Structure 1
Amino acid sequence: MTDRRALHILGASVAALPLLTLLFVPIRTIDDAFISFRYARNLASGDGLVFNLGERVEAATSLSWTLLLAAAETIRLPIEGTALVLGVSFALLALREAYLLGRRLGASPAACLAAVALVAVHGRFWLVAANGLEGGLFAFLVVLVARKTVEEADARLIGALLGLLFLTRPESLLLLPLVLAYQALGAPGQDSESVRPSTESLRSGLAGVPLASGALRRAIPTAASALAIVGAATVWRLGYYGALLPNSVTAKSAFSAGPETLLENLLAGLSYAVRFEIAHAPFILGAAIALILRPKNRALWLSLFVVAAEIPAVLVNGGDWMPHYRLLIVFLPVLAGPLALGLSATFEDWDHPGRRRRRATWVLALLALSAVFMLSRSPWQPSPAPRVEYHPIANCYRFMATRLQPHLETSDIAASEAIGLFGWVLQDTTIHDPLGLASAHHARHGEYHGQWGKTDYRHLHETRPAVLVLHEGSVVTPGKIDRGTHGAWRSDYSGSLVSQPPACGPYRLIVYLDNRRAVHLRPALDGLDVEPLVVE
């Protein structure tokens, strides 16, 4: 069998690995995905890009993903299934780009396939790609930008891709100066040694001018193309929402909470990043090996800086509450390139008997052990059972929304801490968000709750929702509401603990009913194990 044929067979096997992996992991649509779903449905129905009709607040962080789902909703595709298929499909495309990036870095085909295969069998990566959010799309776009930049593709295309990245995750705007710097310094090949001014330019005292002018001719169209998209999106946001960034970004921002809270976030974000690195040790070790063995590979440095560009957002946000390191795991296809280069260099050492082979043996053993550790940490299922489920807490809110739906009147406002699935069920009801993602007032004036958002308890009371649903362990607690409203909430609302609702797992719900509307809403609690809420 020829090497070429063997690589084709191996490549086909790697392509099948993700689908096999998806059979053995518990796919969960995250609650926040339903926020984007509701925006998409309202837009497709002609009601605008809004969560509540008539309220222009941008709670969906990923504009490009929401618009993509709106297009699917317009042609009557089931939005939840479409989000899963699109997320997985984009993640599959990201694997292809990871292979091509590795080749551009100078890694061998076998090393690239090995690195991509490790991503392909990593359950957590696929759980993030399939959770209903933009993870798969972002993973594809970011590795595509890295690959196109390294291979010196059309500058306008690279700029357009950077603009799309901004529409997918606003913090990815930090990639623009990285790409421009790489282009401005010149990208003639793998090694920086090849970047030298001509003898003639040195003699004339204009060292590097030909290189700089040529590089700038590439950087300027990239910047113009990217900033055109960023500028257009920002002008539209200002005109439509009256804000520069999505309201969800403002709600989770710690800058308004003071320096002490910001420092706490920085430490929490640092912990998040370190835990990600430990949990994904083979990629970090592979990158380190590549840097040691190929330190002059400029494209390698670019790939690593692309990943590092997400760290400021991680530090400012204090990490993220969602599972599986979803802020950073989408960069695994980019990290697969450096891993492939490290493997390729190690394979070369293996071909030389003696000290180099012994070194390669230790390196490969360390990478193999770290890969086993990483894969063992994924939440595997013992048997193949392809199904999509929700977190027990999300099930709680879906259950209560279903109970409330027949009893809510048109003028009623329903509030809940988790607004995604709750608001998806109550499609025709105005949903108030006490964590501020869908409320501009809470986002700008509320008490900061770390990675979850902000709450202005007085504003919550002034809104007078007919019902407020929380769960035990909520960041918005009965005690905080009572103190924040100086007892006024307790006099206007009756609180109940709802125990053991079906499909709610070990959690208990906290349900507040407005005393003025309790008559028509209380039947929603009939037949449930209900006890009065005591606020200490």
Structure 2
Amino acid sequence: MRPIRWVFLVVLLLAALRMYEFSSEDFAIDDAWISFRVARNWLEVGKLTFDVTQPPVEGMTNFLWTLLSVLWIAPWPELDPIFMARVVGGLCHLGTVVVSARVAARLALAHGGSARTAALVTGVLLALSGSMAFHALSGLETSLYTLLFVLAMEQTLAARSGRGGPAIACGVLLGLLGMTRPEGVLVGLLFLGLMALWPETRRGLWRAALPFALLIGGLELFRWWTYGALVPNTYQAKPPSPREGWFYFQNYVLYGLGVVGPVALVPALRRSAFARGVALVALVLAAGTIWSGGDWMPGYRRFSVTMVALAVLVGAGVALARGGWRIPAVAGAVAVLAGHVGASLRLQDAGLYPTRALMSLALAANSTPGVRTVALTDIGRFGYYFSGSIFDLAGLTDKHIARQAGHHLSKAWDEAYFLARRPDLLIVNTVSDISLPTTRTLQVHAVESGPLRSIQRLGGYHLVSSLDLQGGKYLVILARDGLELPEEVWGPRVRRSLSEFTVEEM
């Protein structure tokens, strides 16, 4: 592998330059702070939950990432944890690019292909992906997940030599993968299934299966003991939606695969049983993502491990292509790059999030006497900086709301539950500028229409202020009657009543 070290340097440089585009903190996703608050609660009060005033709920889907964030929250409690999370995420992404290039090189070399070509193609495809670069710096677990995945793939390939060490390492990595994201358990079972089918790994399968079973079994015991459930609360808050998942997949086919990109896999699939096994894993994972409903975030975060697997096989495919397959293989790789370029030009691979405004509101709430509970949808950064209780309208960290009928962000509204909790503040997202006297319609997300209509019917709350987030987006703050928010902290008071508006869902 020494002669292709320059390839690794090139793809590392490309990946670093691509991530630089998303260096602004405004590219961090609000959900990241949900994990950080859970980790801090574990440090401070010994409870691995988002809201210590409520029964424990596994409101995050990145158990291992949440535990790892303790490593930078504990020594630097005054530092916003997003800084180190983005550093670690960026390093994991660089590791993913290099290890993927290395796996492609070894796969090509084992079948008489050019290791240099395979490494370069795979590395460039991943390094220039705007989606993967963006999510590496989002503050979430995505790049850790992809790194563990490709390391497990590498050890699975090494285990085919019959050695026991790689099989054990593979089992550990697959267990850590399942601890990072729930669907990682499926990845582990799929890889173990392949190892059971291959004669080279069948006899030593227990070496991989045992550490995997111990890690996942221990995690499930902890979940049941702590939360009374075997899966995160998100499984109830976000029930499967194949229709939405299919639209999500179509976006990935266009911007992730360049439509015809998979053609480049064929030479590798024809010559390698390992390649066929990895392709099968990628196909099953893609089907699972479609079934689950995909993701609301830009890019193709939920297809990231699929993208890693396919990039490895595309690189090996180009290196192994012979005769009439050379042009289609190269064309497939170019199509994937074209998809990445198209995603960047059409702003489909990243997004900006006004989390600084939410942090400012949290600090304002802390400084206002009488504010103990706040209801809102974007609970991440606000929740991390707010010292009180959170009423999570989306139900990610609220077991009661998550179990209501309906789909994600459109659950059946339980008015009695809202009245029982009676939050001191309600913060809603809207595209309506209520500071304008001509505005008569308040357009909000479905999840926020329930409390607003309850307030219109029953009263008990008054409009306080509206925060302009730019780009046609606003945050509207309402306070319970009897609680006055000082204008020097919350901004000029909106001199209008909620009864003046017609609430509509966006």
TM class by shorter-chain length? 0.7 to 0.9
User: Structure 1, unaligned stretches of length 5 or more?
Assistant: 189-214, 255-264, 350-355, 382-387
Deviation for aligned residue 1:232: 0.9
Report the AA paired with residue 63 of structure 1: F
Report the AA paired with residue 400 of structure 1: L
1:459 maps onto 2:466 in alignment: no
Deviation for aligned residue 1:491: 2.1
Deviation for aligned residue 1:482: 5.8
Residues 404 and 521, structure 1, Cα contact 8 Å, conserved in 2:
no
SS of the equivalent of 2:344 reads coil
Change (3 A) 1:459 1:380: same
SS of the equivalent of 1:327 reads helix
Q: Report the Cα distance in structure 2 between the residues aligned to 1:505 and 1:405, rounded to whole angstroms.
A: 28
1:120 maps onto 2:122 in alignment: no
Change (3 A) 1:74 1:452: farther
Q: Report the Cα distance in structure 2 between the residues aligned to 1:168 and 1:61, rounded to whole angstroms.
A: 8
Residues 59 and 246, structure 1, Cα contact 8 Å, conserved in 2:
yes
| Cα deviation code 1:93-152 (max 9, x no counterpart) | 111220222133225222222221221122221101110000010010111112211221
Deviation for aligned residue 1:405: 2.8
Change (3 A) 1:455 1:120: farther
User: Structure 2, unaligned stretches of length 5 or more?
Assistant: 160-164, 431-442
Q: Report the Cα distance in structure 2 between the residues aligned to 1:253 and 1:478, rounded to whole angstroms.
A: 19
**Counterpart for residue 34 of structure 1:** 33
| Cα deviation code 1:463-507 (max 9, x no counterpart) | 111111111154345643366xxx5774243243844x3545421
2:461 to 477, 484, 494: 494
1:436 maps onto 2:398 in alignment: no
> What TM-score do you get using the length of structure 1 for normalisation?
0.80
Report the AA paired with residue 68 of structure 2: L
Matches within 5 A, 1:30-429: 30-55=29-54, 56-76=56-76, 78=79, 79-106=81-108, 107-109=113-115, 110-152=117-159, 154-186=166-198, 188=200, 215-254=201-240, 265-281=241-257, 285-291=260-266, 294-346=269-321, 348-349=322-323, 356=324, 360-361=326-327, 363-365=329-331, 367-378=333-344, 391-392=353-354, 394-409=355-370, 412-426=372-386, 428-429=387-388
> What TM-score do you get using the length of structure 2 for normalisation?
0.84
2:13 to 16, 23, 47: 16
More deviation, 501-510/269-278: 501-510
Task: Indicate the structure whose relative CO is greater, using CA pairs within 8 Å and at least 6 residues apart.
Answer: 1
Report the AA paired with residue 24 of structure 1: E
SS of the equivalent of 1:513 reads strand
Percent identity between matched residues is: 25
Change (3 A) 1:333 1:167: same
Change (3 A) 1:452 1:329: farther
Q: Report the Cα distance in structure 1 between the residues aligned to 2:469 and 2:451, rounded to whole angstroms.
A: 27
Deviation for aligned residue 1:379: 6.1
Residues 396 and 509, structure 1, Cα contact 8 Å, conserved in 2:
no
SS of the equivalent of 2:8 reads helix
Deviation for aligned residue 1:172: 1.7
SS of the equivalent of 2:374 reads strand
Residues 449 and 475, structure 1, Cα contact 8 Å, conserved in 2:
no
Report the AA paired with residue 421 of structure 1: R
Change (3 A) 1:399 1:171: same
Q: Report the Cα distance in structure 1 between the residues aligned to 2:5 and 2:399, rounded to whole angstroms.
A: 53
Change (3 A) 1:364 1:479: closer
| Cα deviation code 1:189-247 (max 9, x no counterpart) | xxxxxxxxxxxxxxxxxxxxxxxxxx443223322221111111111111112221111
Change (3 A) 1:532 1:54: closer
**Counterpart for residue 433 of structure 2:** none
